[in-house]
Structures are given as C-alpha cells and as structure tokens.
Amino acid sequence: MPDLFAVPPIAPVSALNSRQRFAACLAGQPVDRPALWMMRQAGRFLPEYRAVRQQHTFLEMVHTPELALEVTLQPLRRFGMDAAILFSDILTIPEALGMNVDFPEGGPQLSPVIRTAADVARLPSGDCVEKLDYVGQALKLIRAELPHNYVLGFSGAPFTLASYMVEGKGTRTFEGIKTLMYQHPQVFHALMDKLTDSVIAYLKMQLDAGADAVQLFDSWAGELRAEEYVEHVLPSTQRIIQAVHAHGGKLLLFARHTGHLLDASLRSGANGLGLDSRIDLASAAAKAKAVGMAVQGNLDPIELFAPPAHIHARVREMAAATKGCGWIANLGHGVIPSTPIAGVEALVSAVHGLATNSQGGSLHS
C-alpha cells in the first residue's frame, strides 16, 4: 500500500498534482500555476454544507471525524481546490482546557472567563491533546481520502485564544484582554505560555495525523500596536513556529488588519504569510521574498460578488503583484455565507487560467 503520509516527490512542473503544486508555491519553487484554496471554504456558503448542518449541531460536526471529513471534502468535490483545510474551529483548545464553549446565534460564548492568576492556575498544565483526538482522527481520514491534495491543519494563536477566554465572547473593544495585559502582565503572560504549550502540542499532533502544513490564525493580533505585538505576542508565535519546524512541519501565519504589523510578522519565521485585503500585495510580496517567505491571499471576499470579468482581472493583478515570490491564491479573509457560487467558480477559473502565463520565472506554461 502507498504511504499516504510521505511527502510527494519533486515532479516536473508540467506534471504537478495539487499537493506538489501547493508545496512548491510555499517553497517559492517553479509551478505550473498558483495553488488555490479559500479560508472557510468548507462552510455555510455551500448548499451541501447546509444540508449536513440541518441534521447536526456545529459542535457535533466538529467533534465527529466522519462529519468533519465530509464537510472538508465538499469544496474540493465542487471546485477542485488544491488544498483541503480541516473542518474544525479555533476554540477547540479552550474547550479542551475545561471551558464551556457554545455557539449560539450571534457568536461563540465561553465560560467561566479567565481574569485572575487563580483562573489561569486552574487551567491544566501541559498540553490537552488527548482531549482533541477527534481532530487527529479527522485528519487521518482526510489524508487517506486525499493523497494528491495538500492537507492543512490549523489552530488559533495564543493571543486570539486568550482574547476569547478573557472576554468570554467576541468583542470590538478588547477591553478585558488589553486590561489584563496592561495591569497584570504576569497573569497575561502566564496565560499566553499555557496556551502556547497547548498550541505546539496540538499542531504537532495534526502534523503526525497527516497534515502537510498548519495555519496559525491570530485573528485579533491587529488590535495591538506594533510595539505591543512585538513585546507581548510575537515571542509566543516564534516559539510555536520554531517547534513546528523542529517537528519537520511548515506553518502559514494569518491575522486580520495587520498592515502595521507586516515587518514584525516577517520576523516570525513562518513559511508563508497570509495577507488580508488591506495590505498592499506587491510591497508585502517583495518583503516576503527577501526573507524567503511565501505569501497567501488577498482578494477581498466581497469581490466574489463582482462580475466574473472583475474577478479574472483582479486575479491577474494579484499574480503580477507577487512576481518572483511564492504565492498561494486565496482570499484576504474567510468566504462569507452569502457568497454566490458563481463568484467562487470565477475565482477558480481565473487561477487555473494563469497556467498559460508566466509569473516572474516562477510560473511556467
């Protein structure tokens, strides 16, 4: 039987499969065309997802490997994406650490909130991977189903997880987490350290289960000033990336509204940097190339509502902007539930159409 966990061998550019293509893009190597996937591609904009969702709660789908497999595969069946990303949620770690995590209408709710040194001390020390075995089982199923596609695992980053755990929900002000950081930095960093340990163990488990790479979502890092990010968050991110690399893995880093954090993010050591729609792609790609990093993104998700001609033009524009840098075509944030299928089809067609063009010597016909 073939070893589905083995890294695919280097193939001629003209004969790349999706798994090889993604790996080459991430490494800045020659490709026939850019690799493509979309953040939140397994989700509510697909009618087949909604059909499954009518029969199961969100948490049932996350916790059941067979259901997570089905939802993960749906966008690949419909669109032929190069990469599959595990269907799960960033709040699996807080749940595994003993918090109650619910998903009512309006956003996630977590309890009891973490606000004091005693609250942090009550969280289990070490990792919580044994309680997240369902994620590993789902990834093993995905890997077995997709030997020729790139498989991505993921985790929320410590600062984003801490924000939810301290606030107890999503927030626009970040009053709780920032107050903890300003007034009680020792407590803040104790929480960050515990979460960093758990994220490292979680990502290693995902790699062992068959993920080709992992993505670290630090969704709320952009709420910090650059100086705060460098002092309070970047060290934990770097520790995670170093641990993933030491384990033989690769990591993509993504955060929203982080144009002011670009230079700091480029010091993270990540293999690839996901860019939101507000960042100038050409400038970011040039800086990323200089440090040997690939870029991913950054079409505005709402542009998928535009006519196909607009989407095709924007994809060509992004390809030109990333000239000379490894580029994974993606959105600047997750696809939203009301996205028209035709917009996604136009995106896929546009990226596939780049196979007849050239990308600064990195894309060959």
Model pLDDT for residues 62-116, shown as the tens digit of each residue: 999 999 999 999 999 999 999 999 999 999 999 999 999 999 888 899 999 999 9
pLDDT at 107: 87
d(CA 67, CA 45): 17
Q: How confident is the model at residue 312 (pLDDT cuts 50, 70, 90)?
A: very high
Q: Is 256 a catalytic residue?
A: no
> Of the residues 19, 21, 33, 40, which is catalytic?
40
Q: How confident is the model at residue 209, as a pLDDT?
A: 98
183 φ, ψ to 5°? -90, -30
How high is the pLDDT of residue 361? 34
Instruction: Give percent of the chain with pLDDT exceeding 90.
Output: 89
H or E segment and range at residue 286: helix 281-290
CB atoms within 10 A of CB 68: 24
- Give dist(CA 215, CA 225) in Å, integer: 23
The residue from 32, 33, 150, 164 that is catalytic is: 164
**pLDDT at 12 exceeding the cut of 90:** no
Model pLDDT for residues 39-60, shown as the tens digit of each residue: 999 999 999 999 999 999 999 9
Distance (Å, rounded) from C-alpha 175 to C-alpha 60? Answer: 32
Give residue 359's pLDDT band: very low, low, confident or very high (50, 70, 90): very low
Rg of the chain on CA atoms, in Å: 20
pTM of the model: 0.93
Question: What is the mean pLDDT of the segment spanning 309-317?
Answer: 98
Structural domains of the chain sorted by starting position, each given as residue range(s) with its CATH number in brackets: 38-286 (3.20.20.210)
Given 89, 197, 218, 276, the catalytic residue: 89
Residue 53 bears catalytic tag? yes
**Is position 44 annotated as part of the catalytic site?**
yes
- Whether 102 is catalytic: no
Count of beta carbons in the 10 Å neighbourhood of residue 144 = 12
Q: Which of 44, 78, 278, 316 is catalytic?
A: 44
Q: Across the beta sheet with 251-254, what order do the strands follow?
A: 35-36, 327-331, 294-299, 272-274, 251-254, 213-217, 150-156, 83-85
d(CA 94, CA 90): 9
pLDDT > 70 in the chain, percent: 93
How sure is the predictor about 345, in pLDDT bands with cuts at 50, 70 and 90? very high
Give yes or no: 143 in active site. Answer: no
